[in-house]
Amino acid sequence: MAFSRRQFFTLAGTTAATLVVGDTLKAVYAKAAQGKSLRGLGYGPLKPDPDNLLDLPNGFNYRAFSRTGDIMADGNPVPGGHDGMAAFAGPNRSVILVRNHELSPNSSTEVIGQKYDELCNGGTTTLIVGPNRKLIGDYGSLAGTYRNCAGGLTPWGSWISCEENTSTPENTPETIQQPANSGNFVPNPNRVSKRHGYNFEVPASITWRSVNPVPLVEMGRFNHEAVAIDPRTGIVYETEDRGDSLFYRFIPNKPGKLEAGGILEALVIKGMPQVNTKTDFPVGKPMEVEWVRIEDYDPKEDTVRKEGFEKGAAQFARGEGIWYGNGEFYFCCTSGGANSRGQVWRYIPGRNARDGGTIELFVEPNDQTILDMPDNIVVAPFGDLFLCEDGSDQQFVVGVTPGGELYQFARNAINTSEFCGACFSPNGQTMFVNIQTPGITFAIWGPWNKA
């Protein structure tokens, strides 16, 4: 008997499921099939939202703001494609959010400001939220970039926005044949005027204007997804959204000054050169790693991952969100696992750049009733992970305890669009998260300490 995601948790008597393996997992499903209850985890069942926006556990509340089409403080409409985001301390107990917009040149909305590429619509907006969790104002802060999917916050108070595209003027000509081989040429809706596939830095400040967009070229030109920074060393860890992606680190020449350049490297699992990590890895087994240097970090074609793989780097199944917490990095592989429903990996860095560190598979349920294609990720102040799903069915924010137990925390009650951009306010009392389409940002608060 097959169960839908909703049926599984109804049978289980809770919106939480324990991530277990082998015979224990079989026992869990056997109990569910018999209609028996499982011990409740997380914050309890989700309550239907009368406004049909966001289902949350009892005791939690939300406020929605900065929706696509709303007029911002700079006089421009809020762009669509809300995506990765981070929260920073602002003046007078306010919170500054820097939010990505995953927009292509042919998108119907755009970030307006000083553009890197006049033909591109992506970028970031900056939001100022008061201590009452109400929006004070928002404005375009990075413009003219291509598909800003995720990124990462820096210890020095800025957001690194990542382009998930490697278009160049050469591979996106001004016109294309439509239909193919018809001899009828029409304008290319995704044409660009500059090379893409870079990271850009956006200070978390209240300037009410966009930054001068400068690509951080030596961090690599590839299909960027997200970054996270080790505050001890300043080393930046980067994910790549490809089926054969690599896991990278960038060692800056001057920690805290990414524009000064540095060294780009890819992760190799010792004794397992060129291994594909999608399947057949045990959960919770640390493996020692080393790093190989990427020489051609700004190639004409999308070949950074090919160079790394030739040198022995491990492949990951669509590396996406990454977050740092308590000396560890957690990152999602959206299509990892035997059933392609997602993995979470944990990387623990060494004491210095010469010590490669260890990596281990932390979560792999292999069942979409438990986890369905995790994308963005955040480490909560109290230690749990929160994963934003980007699957094909209902979308949830899924919590993961330090022991590897999974539970549903929030459900998109509008549609099946993905969650993204989960992050916590500096005081740890508010989670901010986006629904991508229609673009909406939420502030969520409640009894976080009563899990």
- The CB density around residue 27, as the number of other CB atoms within 10 Å, is 11
Please report, in angstroms and rounded to a whole number, the separation of the first and last CA atoms in the chain: 32
* Residue 234 CB coordination number (10 Å): 19
Alpha carbon 438 to chain centroid distance?
18
Question: Cα dist. 166→103, 113, 150, 264, 447 in Å?
Answer: 14, 22, 15, 17, 43
> Which residue type is seen at 223?
N
Per-domain boundaries in the chain: 54-215+432-442
Per-residue model confidence as pLDDT tens for the chain (451 residues): 333 343 333 323 233 332 333 333 333 323 332 222 223 379 999 999 999 999 999 999 999 999 999 999 999 999 999 999 999 999 999 999 999 999 999 999 999 999 999 999 999 999 999 999 999 999 999 999 999 999 999 999 999 999 999 999 999 999 988 887 788 899 999 999 999 999 999 999 999 999 999 999 999 999 999 999 999 999 999 999 999 999 999 999 999 999 999 999 999 999 999 999 999 999 999 999 999 999 999 999 999 999 999 999 999 999 999 999 989 999 999 999 999 999 999 999 998 878 899 999 999 999 999 999 999 999 999 999 999 999 989 999 999 998 889 999 999 999 999 999 999 999 999 999 999 999 999 999 999 976 5
pLDDT at residue 289 in the model: 98
Output the pTM of the full model.
Answer: 0.91
Residue 352 has a pLDDT of 81
pLDDT of residue 402: 87
